[in-house]
Amino acid sequence: MCSSGPASVDHVVVDGANVVGSRPDGWWRDRPGAARRLAQRLVDALDGPGAHPHVHLVLEGAAARATDLPSHPGLTVVRAPADGDAAIVERAVELGGTGVVVVTADRGLRVRVRAVGATTTGPRALLDTVSEPPTG
């Protein structure tokens, strides 16, 4: 799913707001819907061939209140009670840092998660590996 980062990636922590916000597709009009679409793309990728790291999708604000998110044994949805960045750092610490890739373009967050041993990659690296939903 995410090819950059350490040789052994056990967990991918996705900054949902940052990934969704990386493409100007109208996500701001329906944040819960944008969260649902991203979660579905992640599930579809996890259902694809090969072994995949466990994915932790961190949602905040209106997106965290999204209902009917798709589920998958390889996907954990983290609903940040307040600050999404703090929830992402906390998750990276819980996972032990090593073998954790955080997907975000937020420079400050990148510094914080690298300090706990995680590596980072940008939203494009993730979005390039998950298929676009069918239109129609």
The per-residue pLDDT string of the chain (136 residues; one tens digit each, 9 = 90 and over) reads 554 444 589 999 999 999 999 988 888 899 999 999 999 999 999 999 988 999 999 999 999 999 999 999 999 999 999 899 999 999 999 999 889 999 999 999 999 999 999 999 999 999 988 867 655 4
pLDDT of 5: 42
Alpha-carbon torsion angle 127, 128, 131, 135, nearest 10: 80
pTM of the model: 0.90
CB crowding 93-130: b at 16 or more within 10 Å, else e: eebebebbbbbbbbeebbebbeebebbbbbbebbbeeb
* Residue spans per domain, the chain: 11-127
Give the span between the Cα atoms of 37 and 8, in whole angstroms.
27
pLDDT of 1: 56
Phi first, then psi, for residue 40 (nearest 5°) are -65, -40
Give the span between the Cα atoms of 34 and 17, in whole angstroms.
9
pLDDT of 130: 85
pLDDT of 3: 42
pLDDT of 134: 56
Architecture of the domain whose range is 11-127: 3-Layer(aba) Sandwich (3.40)
